[in-house]
Amino acid sequence: MHHLLTYRTQYKCHTLLKHPLVEVWLTYKWESYTKWIAYTLLFLRVVSVAIFSSFVLEIYCYWLSSSSITTSTLTTFILMTLALSSSLSTELPSVQPVSAEVLAVVGQEEKLSCEVTGHPSATLTWARPDQGLKPDTPLDPRIQVLDEDLVLFGVKETDGGSYQCTTHTSPHLHLTVH
């Protein structure tokens, strides 16, 4: 199974052969692939992409330029190295509750939080699995997601139970109401 991880950056392609300066947007994936991008009469082909433990992305590319369709093409190989942030990781996102057990008081406000780690960053969704509610089920208007935290305004006894914050994994936390 391949886990795709994309990183978008802008860089300038030029060679000593007096090719005009070309600015190209590419999306890199953490797997081998081939992609063509046209820019006027220049074509940039990414031949291979390799990721190393030092988080350096090596791009082998060449230009195909010709004055007409029938003429032969001139191929120039070039090696470009882009340093990626060392904070990038190939670890898929995972999520953990900040606290597995939360005590709330009836009538008070309570905030439930989960911490997401890994890359790329992920958006949290919330559910109540003990009540069969899925992440896309509308919640009581007193319960809102604010900055990815689940905030319960005016906690009721019926709010007690399991809450689930999810990305790719599904850890649980439990709210006990006194």
Condensed to tens digits (0 to 9), the pLDDT of residues 133-175 reads 665 555 678 888 888 888 889 999 888 888 888 774 444 566 7
DSSP 16-33: TT-PPPEEEEEEEESS--
What is the rounded distance in angstroms from the CA atom of residue 81 to the CA atom of residue 162?
A: 48
pTM value? 0.43
Which residues make Cβ contacts (< 8 Å) with residue 141, sequence separation at least 6? none
- For the chain, give every domain's residue range: 6-83, 94-177
The CATH homologous superfamily for domain 94-177 is Immunoglobulins (2.60.40.10)
Q: What is the pLDDT of residues 54-77, one digit of tens each?
A: 333 333 344 444 443 333 333 333
